[in-house]
Amino acid sequence: MKTPDGIQSGRVQKAPENFLDRDGISTVIAESKAGRRNFIRSAFAAAAAGAAAPMALAQGNPVPTEGGDPNILNLPEHATGLGQGVAANNGYGVPSKFESNVQRRQSPGLTQTTQASVSFAPLQSLFGIVTPSGLHFERHHQGWWDIDPSKHRFMINGMVKTPKVFTMDEIMRLPSVSRFHFIECGANTAVEWGNVAVPTVQYTHGMVSCSEFTGVPLITLLEIAGADLKNGKFVLAEGGDGSSMTRTIPMSLILSGEVLVAYGQNGEMLRPENGYPLRLIVPGIQGVSWVKYLRRVEVGDKPYAAKDEAVHYMDLMPDGQHRQYTNIQECKSVVTTPSGGQVLLDKGFYNITGLAWSGRGKVAKVDVSVDGGRNWRQARLETPVLSKALTRFNIDWVWDGKPAIIQSRATDETGFVQPTYKHLRAARGTRSIYHNNAIQSWLVQENGEVKNVQVS
Amino acid sequence: MSKFRKVILTAALLAAAGWASAQSTAYPGVGRPATAKEIAAWDIDVRPDFKGLPAGSGSVAQGQDLWEAKCAHCHGVFGESNEVFSPLIGGTTNDDIKTGNVANLKRADFPGRTTIMKVATVSTLWDYINRAMPWTAPKSLKPDEVYAVTAYLLSLANVVPENFVLTDKNIAEVQKRMPNRNGMTTKHGMWPGKEFNGTGKPDTANVACMKNCVPEANVASMLPDYARNAHGNLADQNRLVGQQHGANTAVPENKSAPVGSAAALAVTKPVAKVADPALALLNKHTCTACHAQNTKVVGPSFNDIAKKYPGKAEYLAGKIKSGGSGVWGAIPMPAQTAPEADIKTIANWLAAGAAK
């Protein structure tokens, strides 16, 4: 297809190695400090003064001038030929070839290795609340493995009556539960603390995913080992891979039965990238605690100050102190459509849709603004609305073709309201990296293109 | 809490209190006692109070030798490198060692934060080096070597002198000199439970206002135009059908284009992609631990190799097998033992341009 300028579309360009260089970052900061403050005002004024753009329908569904739509009149091959047989692709179905754009992706320049890195889930293309397992975000600390489950062992030791070893067969014999939960990296949205840094919701919010996990409550296994639940106030979880990731797990969540030792994800076994054959599920807590390739838990009377709670995953405050053992992912939401990098095809009706979640329980309501936070309307929460799971919201919107700034604001069942950047920066400054749950803004421009912006 | 859970919990508490049964009776036949050898093999964690720390010792000098052989190519000779990982050393002062608070952490203009600026507990360094380093051969260091490497790192930040020997006996004294030992707080509401005496409540308090909440919104920050395509063409990162398409960022934005016409820019033809089998082999044989597609990591990038040796598959296969040093830098590449056919596939891929 040709553009009006005659430029061939569909050209794929390789992402460069670094996304914003030093100069680029200064430009963004300078512009955020000095310029662009009146952008919206002048844009609104221009829209009001100028003639409304004609209703162009390049991608639309025009009434045919004569005859009819060739897609209707000329029967396609799939209506006139023989289709494919069962159990293709070695018996495991794959998405349509037309869906190849929907991929998890690395953010260029974020990390130097692929083994200690991140790939982001394509939130802009997902429906409902379940993240397809192949699109679940990835965070590895030392590369992923595909481990033979018949050789995997799970050990419990420390303050227990009898240290125990379990095989996968044994764990899968125990009474199981299946629960939907979100997992969000503590560093999700981290690059946006100071200013806008990435273009799309995949890169701003794509370190969150939601699955139905199946496994055994950790408390059951601790009880089998005769854990000292009175004096054992802390539990260490440890992975079986090269990094042997460790984290101190909150005992209150273990006692409540929420913490699971899981092997199932969305009806099948965990994917290797997500910890096959065994991982910890710690609902509401940042993803780094959901230890993959789980090999051991230890019951102790003191916290462990593991690398990922004593060097990383700590929140720097303006006074130079680090908040340590920050675990809960507080209430957050984001509009996934329309979102940065997308282009609205026309004026008229749109379904604004997005995701909301809270590490403290259920989402109680989500409000949506299309004027940058001045006025709000309550969105529809789609069922199911589950504790510590993603919740899908939708709201009707008729776009008049004028610039609009779209935001969503979630409130959870504790009454906590998702903060603005102003609230967050007042409480924590701009250097704390982790736990950025600020309200996200998307600017819809007159040409239909949507940009990631922050508002003052 | 369910009635069932209460019963089990009571049983567990009784067991902890010295109840006779060593085994829960609820799930007979599931799990077995761990042996002492098994526990010793896996229970390697070291706590801030040094519970779990094995006896041993290592000098700064021994640590320096180990460092240069096994650590420097990722972390730099002085732990300063940011080529592969964030810098470990730098940003602390002798004054910080006195106060236990790293002063540079208060400075908003200080570029970056090194490990030694952040870490409060020396046990954390020992534990992590022991369990996860070196990068491509974790858990290969003996306890004395971990002591030595830890001592060398600490000496780079003046926490211990150059002639120091770190041992399990003196490590508690070293803890008292950690530059950021007083730099942690648990006064926040983000730990569930009362173990850390946190605040128990959130630190932000937005309200769900519905009408005329803020003055007119102003855009305070957005990406500069030149960064438009920095994450690749966004048209290729959105579904081909739906109420919106992806913006074609391979071409400059036309801000005055009428809505609808701009969208036409984004339509792309779906192409089924077939990955070169060499790409899987690069991971399988952990080539990617030292080489990346576009950037120099430890060794040269695949693109650079392909540029230098177009069509020379046989030469490249030979180099992969024999290893070598000097062509790309001083750090040697070890000889590779991958199957002949795999090496050939990788060499052919490199010689043909290393297309991803």
B265 is a domain residue? no
DSSP tag of B201: S
Count of structural domains, chain B? 2
Length of chain A equals 456
pLDDT tens readout for residues A89-140:
899 999 999 999 999 999 988 888 889 999 999 999 999 999 999 999 999 9
User: Which residue of chain B is at minimal alpha-carbon distance from A231?
Assistant: B16
Instruction: Say which residue, B307 or B286, is predicted with more confidence.
Output: B307
* CATH number for the domain that contains residue B109: 1.10.760.10
| Position A5 pLDDT exceeds 60 | no
Per CB-CB distance under 8 Å, the chain A contacts of B222 are 28, 31, 36, 196, 443, 451-454
Per CB-CB distance under 8 Å, the chain B contacts of A11 are 233, 250
B305 is a domain residue? yes
Q: Measuring CA to CA, which residue among A408, A436, A448 is closest to residue A198? A: A436
Reported ipTM: the value is: 0.86
When the pLDDT of each residue in chain A is averaged and rounded to a whole number, the result is 89
Give the residue-averaged pLDDT of B190-199: 94
B300 is a domain residue? yes
Give the residue-averaged pLDDT of B280-289: 80
Q: Residue B195: which of A234, A375, A431 has the nearest Cβ? A: A234
With tokens 């870490």, the residue in question is B119
pTM: 0.82
Q: Measuring CA to CA, which residue among A169, A166, A177, A156 is closest to residue A256? A: A177
B182 by DSSP, 3-state: which? coil
Give the residue extent of every domain in chain A.
135-323, 332-453
B7 is a domain residue? no
Q: Determine which of A14-18, B82-86, B280-284, B319-323 has the lowest per-residue pLDDT on average.
A: A14-18
Task: Judge if the upstream peptide bond of residue A149 is cis by omega within 30 degrees of 0.
Answer: no
The Cα of B245 is separated from the nearest Cα of chain A by a number of Å equal to 5
A345, A59 contact by CB (below 8 A): yes
pLDDT tens readout for residues A202-214:
999 999 999 999 9
- Under the banding of pLDDT at 50, 70 and 90, the label for residue A372 is very high
What pLDDT, on the 0 to 100 scale, is given for residue B311?
83
Provide the CATH number for the domain formed by A332-453 in this structure.
Answer: 2.60.40.650
Instruction: Say which residue, A54 or B305, is predicted with more confidence.
Output: B305
What pLDDT, on the 0 to 100 scale, is given for residue A254?
98
Q: Residue B230: which of A16, A57, A324 has the nearest Cβ? A: A16
What pLDDT, on the 0 to 100 scale, is given for residue B325?
73
B129 is a domain residue? yes
Last residue of one domain, picked from the residues B113, B147, B175 = B175
Backbone angles phi, psi at B9, to 5 degrees: -65, -40
Domain A135-323 top-level CATH class: alpha beta
What pLDDT, on the 0 to 100 scale, is given for residue B264?
45
Q: Measuring CA to CA, which residue among B285, B345, B268, B281 is closest to residue B313? A: B345
Per CB-CB distance under 8 Å, the chain B contacts of A57 are 260
Contacts of residue A234, defined as CB under 8 A and 6 or more positions apart, other chains included, come to A248, A249, A251, A299, A300, A301, A302, A303, A304, B195
Q: Is A397 on the interface with B (CB under 8 A)?
A: no
| Position A51 pLDDT exceeds 80 | no
- Under the banding of pLDDT at 50, 70 and 90, the label for residue B17 is very low
B162 is a domain residue? yes
Distance in angstroms (rounded) separating the CA atoms of residues B335 and B347: 14
With tokens 């177009």, the residue in question is B310
CB contact under 8 A, B289 and A350: no
B3 is a domain residue? no
Q: Residue B204: which of A113, A225, A424 has the nearest Cβ? A: A424
- What does the angle CA A397 – CA A59 – CA A132 come to, to the nearest 5 degrees? 65
What pLDDT, on the 0 to 100 scale, is given for residue B65?
97
Last residue of one domain, picked from the residues B175, B197, B224 = B175
CB contact under 8 A, B288 and A338: no
The Cα of B83 is separated from the nearest Cα of chain A by a number of Å equal to 7
What pLDDT, on the 0 to 100 scale, is given for residue B280?
79
Last residue of one domain, picked from the residues B123, B141, B175 = B175
B154 is a domain residue? yes
CB contact under 8 A, A304 and B47: yes
Distance in angstroms (rounded) separating the CA atoms of residues A213 and A179: 5
Q: If 0-12 CB within 10 Å is exposed, 13-18 middle and 19+ buried, where does residue B95 land?
A: exposed
Q: What DSSP element (H or E) covers B146?
A: helix B143-156
A90 by DSSP, 3-state: which? helix
- Under the banding of pLDDT at 50, 70 and 90, the label for residue A54 is very low
As separate numbers, helices (DSSP H) first and strands (DSSP E) second, chain B gives 14, 6
Contacts of residue A167, defined as CB under 8 A and 6 or more positions apart, other chains included, come to A150, A152, A153, A154
B333 by DSSP, 3-state: which? strand
Helix axes B122-132, B143-156, angle to 10 degrees: 130
The amino acid sitting at A23 is: D
**What is the domain range of residue B112?**
57-175
Q: Is the dihedral of CA B219, B223, B225, B231 positive or negative?
A: negative
A159, A302 contact by CB (below 8 A): no
When the pLDDT of each residue in chain B is averaged and rounded to a whole number, the result is 87
Give the residue-averaged pLDDT of A344-362: 96
A160, B12 contact by CB (below 8 A): no
